[in-house]
């Protein structure tokens, strides 16, 4: 018995020491310079809530313009270069001797040396989208070197520089404010909503989410949790950015704390369990839920007691305080009380319900559909809901419930000619903000079933993608003439089902670099940059989707 007690004490001491070490990391405050030569105002900050992910850096405004010089934040070498029609667009990653990596995204173009390095790689691989990992010290930079110009490439919503600091070993993004990039901030965070969630009980006699106010007195029974809608602003910008820290106190004792210091890519989608996912799906509203299950792998929580859930005892009154704080230390607080009432009788569970467990593998097979979920696919245990409609759609649980990792769905196709099964896809339908949406998921036909990896619930069915992408010329037709001052050929390319899978452009039979911006569906070929000589030429553009349906456009043109 004594040995057990001593062991527990030692474990506690070690745990306290480890936690103390983690909170006392001395991040270098003077190693990195401003990546832009202008005053920094933020359009987005670290840990901000985004669809399916947290924002992993800071978005520095560029006065709604492109073309500002982007500087290396410190000495180092370029360890990665990305060119993509989505995501970060044109991006540079620099590893530094201090153990951190800086990332620069949505760039307009790279400096001349890097641009040549990238173009050589693109031509050798005949691909616009590339991910390059130069050898260590192959492309070295010094602090203050111009590495690129700021832009709007990738999934950017407007011109800005996306800037990150990562742990080089783990690739985990860290809050740039920890490294001295804290922007002047004299305003406390905003609190735009406060909510009570009866988890297994009632709030003011209700069993559904309740909007509450600062200073309220609530009658509660059983298990309850709380949520808050909060934003922060930095000086010089009106953008509603993320809040750095949110703390829930019960009788002045910490009960649940969320802090945006560090992210992990594998856990990122856990944001969908942190927020009120149903409210986000229906109303595009972002509410932090200050109670979390074991099934949420996020490591952004501390001082958690009982998962953040409060079990109110009858006859007791509890003082609740929720405190929001930005990195500069500005705070905003709400206070209210809850009065514990007698716990109501529990609703008996359905003995016939099929339970899917978050910490186990789950398998389901019925009516020609089979589902396999690995351990950790869902965040909470759930009573699995299923039905098949008369028109052959399989309704798999509830699209307002989030899913963390991919799971396998296999459907036996009905009424599809065997010659078409190679083009089979899985169609998912769901409601978002009151409207029906569809997505087409690439699938494989194997052993009599159409099989796909999916990451959401919804209404699933088998569909056929036989549709070629569309190619719409913007400024070219047969025998068009282009000059040195007007030497860019433009197209709009789209696909209505599985999406653009790739493209290739050829002039006089030779592959040439074409650039594609997914958010605008715009594909361009710069004749001057690609060294196309004066005279008559033939252009061929091929665009294909994820099921290799290919569209082709050809035209002769002149260059003067």
Question: For residue 532, is pLDDT > 80?
Answer: yes
560 within 8 A of 517, measured Cβ to Cβ: no
Of the pLDDT bands very low, low, confident and very high (cuts 50, 70, 90), residue 11 is very low
- pLDDT computed for residue 20 by the predictor: 36
For residues 123-145, give the mean pLDDT. 98
Domains and CATH numbers, the chain: 42-179 (2.70.70.10), 190-340 (2.60.40), 355-464 (2.60.220.30), 470-559 (2.60.40.1220)
- Confidence check: pLDDT of 12 > 90: no
pLDDT of residue 24: 65
The model scores a pTM over 0.75: yes
Q: Please provide the DSSP assignment of 358-397 as one string.
A: TTS-EEEEETTEEEEE-TTSSSS-EE--EEE-TTS-EEES
Predicted confidence at residue 463, as pLDDT, reads 96
| Alpha-carbon Rg for the chain in angstroms | 27
Angle at 9 between CA 8 and CA 14, to 5 degrees: 100
pLDDT score at 8: 34
**Are the CB atoms for 117 and 139 separated by under 8 Å?**
yes
Answer whether residue 323 shows pLDDT above 50: yes
Specify the pLDDT at position 352: 84
Residue 150's nearest CA partner among 65, 72, 237 is 65
User: What are the Cα distances from residue 89, in Å, to 103, 188, 515, 560?
Assistant: 12, 33, 11, 32
Model pLDDT for residues 170-212, shown as the tens digit of each residue: 999 999 999 998 789 999 999 999 999 999 999 999 999 999 9
Q: Which of 501, 492, 487 is nearest to 537 (CA)?
A: 487
Q: What's the rounded Cα separation, in Å, for the pair 34 and 248? A: 35
Rounded mean pLDDT, 243-254: 98
* Better-predicted residue by pLDDT, 21 or 114: 114
Look at residue 350 in the predicted model and tell me its pLDDT.
83
> What would the pLDDT profile of 389-423 be if each residue is shown by its tens digit?
988 899 999 999 999 999 999 999 998 998 999 99
- Closest by CA position to 321, among listed 244, 411, 256: 256
Three-state secondary-structure class, residue 380: coil
Give the pLDDT confidence of 541-552 residue by residue, as tens digits. Answer: 999 999 999 999
Q: Over the chain, what is the mean pLDDT? A: 93
Q: What percent of the chain lies above the pLDDT cut of 70?
A: 95
Mean pLDDT calculated for residue range 410-439: 94
């Amino acid at each position: 018995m004594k040995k057990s007690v001593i062991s527990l004490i030692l474990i506690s001491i070690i745990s306290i020491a480890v936690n103390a070490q983690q909170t006392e990391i001395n991040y270098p405050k003077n190693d990195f310079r401003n990546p832009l030569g202008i005053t920094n105002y933020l359009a987005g900050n670290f840990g901000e809530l985004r669809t399916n992910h947290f924002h992993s850096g800071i978005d520095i405004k560029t006065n709604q313009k492109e073309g500002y010089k982007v500087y290396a934040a410190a000495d180092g070498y370029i360890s990665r270069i990305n060119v993509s029609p989505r995501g970060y667009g044109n991006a540079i990653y620099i590893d530094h001797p201090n153990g951190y990596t800086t990332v620069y995204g949505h760039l307009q173009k790279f400096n001349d040396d890097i641009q040549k390095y990238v173009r050589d790689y693109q031509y050798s691989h005949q691909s616009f989208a590339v991910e390059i990992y130069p050898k260590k010290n192959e492309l070295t930079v010094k602090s203050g070197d111009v590495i690129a110009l700021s832009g709007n490439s990738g999934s950017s919503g407007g011109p800005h520089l996306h800037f990150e600091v990562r742990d080089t070993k783990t690739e985990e993004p860290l809050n740039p404010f920890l490294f001295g990039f804290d922007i002047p901030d004299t305003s406390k965070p905003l609190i735009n909503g406060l909510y009570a969630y009866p988890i297994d009980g009632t709030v003011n006699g209700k069993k559904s989410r309740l909007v509450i106010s600062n200073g309220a007195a609530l009658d509660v029974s059983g298990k309850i949790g709380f949520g808050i809608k909060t934003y922060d602003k930095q000086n010089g910008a009106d953008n509603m950015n993320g809040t750095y820290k949110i703390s829930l106190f019960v009788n002045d004792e910490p009960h649940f704390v969320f802090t945006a210091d560090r992210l992990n890519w594998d856990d990122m989608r856990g944001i969908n369990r942190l927020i009120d996912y149903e409210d986000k799906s229906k109303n595009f509203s972002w509410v932090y839920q200050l109670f979390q299950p074991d099934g949420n792998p996020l490591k952004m929580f501390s001082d958690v007691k009982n998962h953040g859930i409060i079990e109110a005892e009858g006859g007791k009154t509890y003082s609740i305080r929720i405190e929001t704080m930005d990195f500069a230390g500005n705070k905003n607080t709400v206070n209210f009380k809850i009065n514990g009432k007698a716990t109501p009788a529990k609703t008996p569970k359905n003995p016939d319900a099929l339970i899917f467990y978050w910490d186990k593998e789950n398998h389901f097979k019925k009516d020609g559909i089979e589902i396999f979920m690995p351990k950790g696919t869902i965040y909470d245990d759930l009573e699995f809901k299923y039905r098949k409609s008369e028109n052959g759609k399989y309704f798999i649980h509830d699209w307002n419930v989030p899913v963390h990792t991919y799971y396998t769905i296999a459907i036996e196709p009905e009424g599809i000619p065997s010659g078409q099964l190679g083009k089979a896809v899985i169609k998912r339908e769901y409601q978002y903000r009151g409207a029906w949406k569809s997505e087409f998921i690439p699938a494989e036909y194997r052993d009599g079933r159409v099989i796909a990896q999916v990451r959401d619930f919804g209404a699933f069915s088998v569909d056929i993608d036989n549709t070629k992408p569309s190619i719409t010329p913007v400024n070219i037709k047969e025998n068009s003439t282009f000059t040195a001052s007007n030497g860019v050929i433009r197209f709009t390319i789209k696909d209505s089902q599985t999406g653009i899978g790739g493209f290739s452009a050829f002039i006089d039979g030779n592959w040439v670099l074409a650039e594609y911006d997914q958010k605008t569906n715009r594909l361009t070929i710069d004749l001057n940059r690609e060294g196309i000589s004066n005279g008559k030429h033939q252009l061929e553009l091929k665009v294909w989707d994820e099921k290799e349906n290919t569209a082709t456009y050809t035209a002769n043109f002149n260059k003067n």
